[in-house]
Amino acid sequence: MELEIKKNVKLADYSTFKIGGLAKYFVVVKSEDDFIVAIKWAKRRSKKIFVLGGGSNILFSDKGFDGLVIKNEIKGMEVVGENEDSAIIKSYSGEAWSKMVNFSISRNYYGIENMFYIFGTVGAAPVQNIGAYGVELKDIFYNLCAIDLKTGEKKYFNLKDCQFAYRDSIFKNKLKNKYFVLWVELKLSKKEKFNLEYGDIKNKLAEKGIENPKLKDVAEVIQEIRNLKLPNPGILPNAGSFFKNPVISEDEFKILKDKFSDIKSFPDQKGIKIPAGWLIEQVDVKGYRHGDAGVYENQALILVNHGSASQKDVLFLVDLVKKNVFDKFGIILEAEVNILK
């Protein structure tokens, strides 16, 4: 089948931040074969490629993209294995992540419910090891299949191969821009198994008088918490948490704790995690605006587009936030959103 390669497509329309210039070439792929045709098309013309999923974690350049943007719409989801205790579900990468969560909840599979209501596609989930409310993708990950962008060959990655860490994986490091995730398999529990330790979940369930929650109760509570804290990109364009929560050593933490006794912190595998939202709030930029780019007034970790912000506006704000946080705390904030310059 011939693929329709469009020219000069506005990337802002494909990003939840609603920012970005024109993609010189743009194609929608709906199957593995389409994808192979698309990468060959780009290779023959020596064009760069960029694979786009849900566009929910990206800040495109105002100059656009001088190559081929491949919009992934490869779909399909099924249960591929099952025993008394667990089930393995497989989803192609162009499906919405939220569909995979709904698919599991409707079958009474446990383990994924805390990641309800996260925007983006299944394919992006392992790349940045998405997470929320005490659960990360790595906790339920089973296997994935990816296509080598150079050779078109398939390769399988198990949990160890992916080298997952907080908002990180091999696909953001050693293999950055080298593979396309084609499908992902998750292993979920068929036995009741909740993760309710995150403070807000416990409080909300208690508020509602729910002592023995069902999967749908937990999903509902997660949705309510997210709605309170995170702006709906359909109303106020944004890309979720803009920065990662920095992880510092125990020693560094002790020094900060002496100076800032109310500093918030969480244990992490690699040290102490400090909520970037708290750090940003302390430097008085919550709600601050530079042009139409702003720090969200209810959650300082999120940068928003109040109308016609450009990447330049957002990056100005990013530098300001980073400088202020560094000057006060000596901590370097790192972006979580993928910034295409």
> Is 167 a known active-site residue?
yes
Q: Does 132 bind ligand EPU (CB under 6 A)?
A: yes
Count of residues in contact with ligand EPU, rule CB under 6 A? 18
Q: How many Å apart are CA 72 and CA 92, to the nearest integer? A: 10
Stretch that binds ligand EPU, among 20-28, 99-107, 140-148, 294-302 (CB under 6 A): 294-302
Smallest distance from the beta carbon of 52 to ligand EPU, in angstroms?
17
Range 232-261, binding ligand EPU (CB under 6 A): 240-241, 244-245
Quote the least distance from Cβ 79 to ligand EPU, whole Å.
27
- Which residue number, 47 or 289, has a Cβ lying nearer to ligand EPU? 289
Output 143 or 245, the one with its CB closest to ligand EPU.
Answer: 245
* 129 lies in the site for ligand EPU, by CB under 6 A: no
Select from 275, 288, 312, 338 the one that contacts ligand EPU (CB under 6 A): 275
Is 124 near ligand EPU (CB under 6 A)?
Answer: no
CA 87 – CA 26 distance, rounded (Å)? 37
Closest to ligand EPU by CB, 26 vs 119, is 119
Instruction: Decide: is 104 part of the binding site for ligand EPU (CB under 6 A).
Output: no
Residue 301 interacts with ligand EPU (CB under 6 A)? Answer: yes
- DSSP string covering 221-249, please? HHHHHHHHHS--TTTS-EEEE-BPPPEE-
User: Which of 91, 104, 241, 310 is labelled catalytic?
Assistant: 241
How would you class 129 by CB atoms within 10 Å of its CB: exposed for 0-12, middle for 13-18, buried for 19 or more?
buried
Question: What are the CA-CA distances from residue 18 to residues 112, 293, 322, 339 (Å)?
Answer: 29, 11, 23, 13
Count the neighbouring beta carbons within 10 Å of the beta carbon of residue 242.
27
The reply on whether position 136 binds ligand EPU by CB under 6 A is no
Question: E-strand spans in the chain?
Answer: 6-10, 22-29, 49-52, 58-59, 65-72, 77-82, 86-92, 131-132, 135-136, 141-148, 154-158, 179-189, 238-241, 247-248, 266-268, 271-273, 289-290, 293-295, 302-305, 338-339
**241 part of the active site:** yes
Residues 6+ apart with CB under 8 A from 88: 79, 80, 81, 82, 142, 185, 186, 187, 188
Tokens matching residue 45? 């013309």
Q: Does 133 bind ligand EPU (CB under 6 A)?
A: yes
The correct pick among 63, 208, 264, 306 for binding ligand EPU (CB under 6 A) is 264
Contact 256, 34 (CB under 8 A): no
Q: x/- string (CB under 6 A) for ligand EPU, residues 204-233?
A: -------------------------xx---
Q: Which among 56, 167, 169, 185 is annotated as catalytic?
A: 167
Query: Which tokens hold the place of 310?
Result: 């450009």
Contacts of 255 (CB under 8 A, 6+ apart): none
Q: Does 16 bind ligand EPU (CB under 6 A)?
A: no
Tell me the per-residue interface mask from 172 to 211 with ligand EPU, x by CB under 6 A, - otherwise: ----------------------------------------
Name residues whose C-beta falls within 8 Å of residue 314's C-beta, 6 or more positions apart in sequence: 17, 19, 59, 293, 303, 305
Catalytic residues: 167, 241, 336
* Residues forming the site for ligand EPU (CB under 6 A): 132-133, 229-230, 240-241, 244-245, 264, 275, 277-278, 281, 286, 299-301, 336
